[in-house]
Amino acid sequence: MKKIIFAAAALFAFGFANAQDKKESEGGKGFANGDVFISGSFGISSSKEGDLKTNGFEIMPRVGFFVSENIAIGGQIGYESTKVDNGVDDATTNALTIGAFGRYYMTPASDFSLFGQLGVNYRTAEDEAEIKTNGFEVALAPGVSYFLSDNWAIEASIGVLGFSSEKEDVDGAENRTTFGLGLDMEDINFGIIYKF
């Protein structure tokens, strides 16, 4: 695992140095004020502990617009499905997320740029027993983007500092709140960007 992390760090360092050389000689690819981009993330998960199996699927497309040289704002919509099987029966929960985000890019005109993203999401979920859960989350995450061509880039966000609150839609239910900082491999998200 350490080899993967060191290899990724070396790749990002090389990409940053290469992006700076290109920027000086060619102007770089990167982002500019007024650019529009679409991106998204996709995830599949599976875990097993004894007889308990959990499988999940998530997709979240997003669109963003650069309102200034360094700042982009945008929206996202996501769908998530999780199936839990305990060996006797199984239960599936489906969730819909709608949110907005803002990003600050350190060097948006370069091929390689670091960014910070602040996002706010509303989430509603329903399980097979038709019990609904509604809530919101606020998350702050650092990330990187690297342009492969004039229009295509890859991005990764690493870790998350977040707060969430959710409540089941039943009488007497109480709010569940969570505050946390995640910095492990589960908190790395990869995506693809297309710039118009």
Token representation of residue 106: 């350190």
In degrees and rounded to multiples of 5, residue 92 shows phi and psi of -115, 135
Q: What is the mean pLDDT of residues 172-192?
A: 80
Are 177 and 137 in contact by the 8 Å Cβ rule? The answer is no
pLDDT band at 13 (very low <50, low <70, confident <90, very high): very low
Q: Is the pTM of this model over 0.85?
A: no
Looking at residue 108, the DSSP 8-state letter turns out to be T
148: domain range? 2-195
Written as six digits, the tokens of 121 are: 């999401």
Question: Per the structure, how many domains does the chain have?
Answer: 1
Q: In this structure, are residues 103 and 76 in contact, taking their beta carbons and an 8 Å threshold?
A: no
pLDDT-derived band of residue 15, with 50, 70 and 90 as boundaries?
very low
- Average the pLDDT over 42-66 and give the result: 90
pLDDT digits (tens, 9 = 90+) for 141-161: 999 999 999 999 999 888 788
Residue whose structure tokens are 């090389």: 14
Most confident of 30-34, 87-91, 99-103, 153-157: 99-103
pLDDT of 43 reads 81
Q: Encode pLDDT of 17-38 as tens digits.
A: 444 444 433 445 889 999 999 9
CATH at 29: 2.40.160.20
